[in-house]
């Protein structure tokens, strides 16, 4: 006579199997979520390295006698159907290095060893999730790095000043720029252009990273009590560096002569896995 499973045994076995499968599903889901989170963090850290390495490279070649112009902008675009304030600071300065344009002019790139470099974000109205509206998502935002090569030795009868949509070069030397800047006002250093993402190839020379939000720039002055003017100004009570930022809506452009910069920005992964992104701070000490 063969033995068989009783109904109770079958129910208990099925119950145990269901519990095991349930735990297996949870473990699998956690593993998948952990993998997605790890990939999102890796993507964000890659963007962080790209931005900070480029900042470090540019500031190593900064022309210290003319340390740059800064502008504070706080936009209030639509996001999620409501107005939000978004930091979008800008900075422009002269850099010595080996530069060449991404686009070809008369069949070849323009090269030079001095450029005006600026960091900024496009007009936030560029970030449109739905054609025709002004809503945007942080994962869509872009950080621009523009470089305008000072190419004073080019033939003006062949090369047009500020040629191309991105003004990749100007027919002027650094000395000529200082005497007679090509801009009518300092504000023209910061154009915050619209960035047409449908025609991304036209803006490729400027794109540095996508998913960059709340780009903020602070600066520290030299310590007036330092006889050599090499140290940054510190709070006498705490010893903390005194960071400055002129907060306001379109507060205007001003020439600054700092000894250090602090950049703060929030980075998002392209899939929005990390909902609120990750905020980073990067400090650059000039001449250090």
10 Å CB burial of residue 15 (0-12, 13-18, 19+) is: exposed
The average pLDDT across 273-288 equals 88
Say what the alpha-carbon torsion angle 109, 47, 60, 257 is, to the nearest 10 degrees. Answer: 110
Q: What's the pLDDT band for 173 if we cut at 50, 70, 90?
A: confident
Return d(Cα 20, Cα 31) in angstroms, integer.
Answer: 16
The whole-number average pLDDT for the span 13-28 is 76
- Across 33-47, 158-172, 264-278, least confident range: 158-172
Q: What is the model's pLDDT at position 222?
A: 74
Q: What is each CA distance from 189 to 30, 48, 71, 129, in whole angstroms? A: 49, 25, 9, 28
Mean pLDDT computed over 132-142: 69
Q: What is the pLDDT of residues 216-226, one digit of tens each?
A: 888 887 766 66
Q: Hey, is 118 helix, strand or coil? A: strand
In this structure, the chain runs to a length of 288
Measure the CA–CA gap between 155 and 193, rounded to whole angstroms: 28
Per-residue confidence (pLDDT) for residue 201, from 0 to 100: 60
Cβ atoms of 268 and 138 closer than 8 Å: yes
For the chain, percent of residues with pLDDT exceeding 90: 16
pTM of the prediction? 0.79
Residue-level pLDDT at 125: 62
Q: List pLDDT tens digits, range 250-269.
A: 555 666 677 888 999 999 99
* Helix residue ranges, H only, the chain: 7-60, 174-179
Q: Hey, where are the domains in the chain?
A: 7-285
| Other C-beta atoms lying within 10 Å of the C-beta of residue 88 | 25
- Which tens digits make up the pLDDT trace of 159-172? 877 776 667 888 88
- The tens digit of pLDDT for each residue in 23-33 reads 777 877 777 77
Over residues 86-130, the pLDDT tens digits come to: 778 888 888 899 999 888 888 888 999 998 888 888 766 665 555
What percentage of the chain reaches a pLDDT higher than 70? 68
Does the structure show a pLDDT above 50 at 249? no
pLDDT attached to residue 267 = 96
Mean of all residue pLDDT scores within the chain: 77
Greatest alpha-carbon span in the chain: 109
Of 240, 262, 275, give the one whose Cα is nearest residue 87.
262
Q: Give the pLDDT of residue 219.
A: 85
């Amino acid at each position: 006579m063969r033995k068989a499973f009783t109904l109770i045994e079958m129910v208990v076995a099925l119950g145990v199997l269901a519990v095991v499968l349930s735990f297996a599903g949870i473990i699998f889901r956690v593993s998948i979520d952990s993998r997605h989170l790890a990939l999102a963090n890796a993507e964000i850290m890659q963007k962080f390295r790209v931005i900070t390495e480029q900042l470090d490279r540019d500031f190593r070649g900064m022309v210290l006698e003319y340390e740059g112009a800064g502008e504070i902008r706080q936009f209030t675009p639509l996001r999620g159907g409501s107005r939000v304030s978004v930091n979008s600071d800008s900075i422009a300065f002269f850099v010595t290095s080996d530069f060449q344009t991404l686009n070809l002019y008369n069949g070849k790139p323009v090269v030079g060893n001095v450029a005006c470099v600026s960091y900024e974000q496009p007009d936030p109205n560029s970030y449109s999730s739905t054609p025709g509206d002004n809503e945007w998502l942080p994962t869509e935002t872009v950080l621009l790095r523009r470089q305008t090569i000072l190419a004073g030795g080019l033939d003006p009868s062949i090369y047009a000043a500020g040629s191309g949509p991105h003004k990749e070069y100007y027919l002027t030397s650094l000395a000529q720029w200082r005497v007679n800047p090509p801009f009518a006002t300092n504000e023209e250093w910061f154009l915050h252009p619209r960035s047409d993402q449908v025609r991304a190839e036209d803006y490729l020379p400027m794109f540095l990273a996508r998913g960059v939000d709340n780009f903020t720039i602070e600066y520290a002055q030299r310590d007036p009590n330092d006889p050599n003017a090499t140290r940054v100004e510190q709070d006498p009570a705490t010893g903390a560096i005194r960071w400055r930022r002129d907060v306001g809506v379109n507060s205007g452009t001003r020439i600054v002569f700092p000894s250090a910069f602090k950049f703060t920005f929030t980075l998002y992964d392209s899939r929005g896995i990390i909902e609120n992104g990750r905020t980073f701070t990067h400090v650059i000490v000039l001449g250090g």
